[in-house]
Structure formats: structure tokens, C-alpha cells
Amino acid sequence: MESLFAATLRPFWVDGLNAITGSVNKPLIETFDERKGYVFYYPIESQLFKATITDYQLFLRGYASDINRFGCAAVESMNEIQYKELFSRSHSWKCIKAYYASYYAAHALLRLHGISCTNFERQNLNHIENVADAWGMQNGVSIEKGYYQCILDASEQEIHCKKINATGNKGSHEQLWSVFLKHLEHIISEVSGLSETPELQRILSKLLDLKNILTAFGSNGGNWLSKVRNEINYKHINGLWYPYKDAEKYFDKINAVTVNWEKIPDTIDLSINYDKPILKFLDACVFIVSLYLNSAKDMAMRCPRKTSSFQSQGVLSLVNKINS
């Protein structure tokens, strides 16, 4: 069954990424650290820097490396959700692993679209400032360390990096979900402008369902999944830890939800389980992993050298090992 989501999300791929082949082992942060392939024609700011790329392939490979790194972490996390007969009702760590799989998959999916959420430490920024200084664009400015949204602009051959400033005391997870939510809203807006068909309406409905889940219960930053993970991990609520109080009503359904991560997202229904927060949480986690993996497979199929696609050499190689 061909996925409608694959075709819908294909136009959002960053230009040229599907043609990247072979093993990719140098992440984006190391690409910056090597001080090659980019220059500065614009002054840097304390929370913003825009570099002009002189070696676009180098940066594409940095994105590809990070996609495989996060993608493999997502797949491995989902695959490690195992059930032992003695503790058949023990679902706490299974839910936590499902959350982390979705978190890693969200990172990878954003990068497929040219958006990297990257943490810059002081030593990384020193390298970037050295390049800016060599081009006369530092002007005594020191870039603040922290989490940045880096957007790869193929048409302008530039990379724009802006610090993610989520309101309040927000960590990297909340920052990632805020970026993911904004990009999801952008996709919804773009897809809504296309000629309406029944198939397209189904895609939009699922994307809107995903947005509603990410923003559930007042989570306007799109971080409801992170909130639930914290509740499970630190507050030990929802009956997922021994003695599993009041959680029996959905024990038998958790297994059925978590095995769906390899299905195409078209078949996953996000509109059910709304009276059961844990199942709604798991549905969304699994859907995000499915959404990413579906795009990764689609990109590999559209590589000019299919068997040499970086996706085939990375995350899809892991999926094949799991299924062999």
C-alpha cells in the first residue's frame, strides 16, 4: 500500500538531500567545528548567525548524518519495547521508550525538511566566531551558547541559526517540540492550500489530530508528550508502575498500539482513545515514528542510486536487521 503521507511530505524535503549516498558520519556540529565550507557576509549577533555556504554538499551530509543518528535511536528505542510474561502489566518503561522514540523521530523528520535543532556549546561557538572574525563579521560579539534552530536554505546557499527562546524554564525537549509544532502548523497551512480531494482531507485530518494531541490540556508549546513522559518518569502516576493501580482498563491495548510503528502513518487512527490519555500519548508517539520512517523509506526510493542512499546505509539497514 502506497502512503499518501509520503507524497504529501515530499515537497518539504530540503533540496538535494535525497541524492546523498554512502556512509555519513560527520554530524552538523562537526561541520561547523572544522571551519570549512562556510563564510560570513553578515555580522553575527548574540543569538543569531547566518552563514553563507561555499560547500553545500558538506552541509547536506551533516544533516544526513544527524538524520541517521536520530533515526536509528528512534527505531532502536521502539524495538526495545519488549514484554516479559512475569511483568505483563509493567508498561512504564515501554511508554518512556516510546516517548524517546518519538522525540528522536521528530528531530530526524525536521532535518529531512532542512530544520536542525542543534545545541552549541562554547567550544563550538569559538570555531564559528573565528570564521566570522576572519571575514570581519564578529565585531566583538560573542554568540550565546544554547539550543539553536538551524535552517538550511538551498536557494540562497545559506544556513540561518537562531537561538530557541521558549518562555519559562524550558529544556531541550520543550524547545524541540515548540519547533516541531510550528513546522507542523506550516505543513498544515501549505497542504490546506492545495486542491482538496478526499485523500488530502484524510491527511489534513490526521495532521490536525496530531497537532491537537501535542497541544492537549493547555500545552500550547506542543509539549504535551513531554509532560506525560515526565509524569510517568518522575511522578509515577497513571498506574504504570507496580502495583499498577487503576490502570487495568488499558493494559490490554498498550501492546496493540506500540507495535504499529512500522505501519504507514495513513493507517494509524489518532482520533480514538481520547478518554484514555496514555493511549492517546502512545498513538501520537508511534505516529511520529511512523511518519519519519515512512519519509525515510520514500527518500531512499527516490535516490538516483537507490541501494546507496544514506538512508539505506543507515536507519533502513537497522530496520532490515530487526526484521531479518
Q: What is the per-residue pLDDT across 196-253, written as a single tens digit (0 to 9) for each?
A: 889 899 999 999 999 999 999 999 999 999 999 999 999 988 778 877 776 666 667 7
Considering the domain boundaries, does residue 324 fall inside one? no
Considering the domain boundaries, does residue 210 fall inside one? yes
Whole-number Cα distances in Å, 174 to 148, 210, 222: 13, 16, 8
User: What is the per-residue pLDDT across 255-293, written as a single tens digit (0 to 9) for each?
Assistant: 788 889 999 999 999 988 667 789 999 999 999 999 999
pTM of the model: 0.95
> What 3-state class would DSSP assign to 296?
helix
Considering the domain boundaries, does residue 240 fall inside one? yes
Considering the domain boundaries, does residue 113 fall inside one? yes
What is the distance between the alpha carbons of residues 39 and 52, in angstroms, rounded to a whole number?
A: 5
Considering the domain boundaries, does residue 321 fall inside one? no
User: Which domain covers residue 198, as residue numbers?
Assistant: 4-314
Considering the domain boundaries, does residue 322 fall inside one? no
Q: What are phi and psi of 275, to 5 degrees?
A: -90, 5
Tell me the H-state helices in the chain: 4-9, 28-33, 56-79, 92-112, 122-134, 172-192, 198-214, 224-230, 248-258, 277-301, 310-313, 315-323
Considering the domain boundaries, does residue 319 fall inside one? no
What pLDDT, on a 0 to 100 scale, did the predictor assign at position 91?
81
What pLDDT, on a 0 to 100 scale, did the predictor assign at position 2?
72
For residue 306, what pLDDT band results from cuts at 50, 70 and 90? Answer: confident
Tell me the one-letter amino acid at 248: E
What is the distance between the alpha carbons of residues 128 and 108, in angstroms, rounded to a whole number?
A: 24
Q: What are phi and psi of 87, to 5 degrees?
A: -120, 55
Instruction: Cell numbers for 128, please give them.
Output: 564559528
Q: Tell me how many domains the chain contains.
A: 1
Considering the domain boundaries, does residue 135 fall inside one? yes
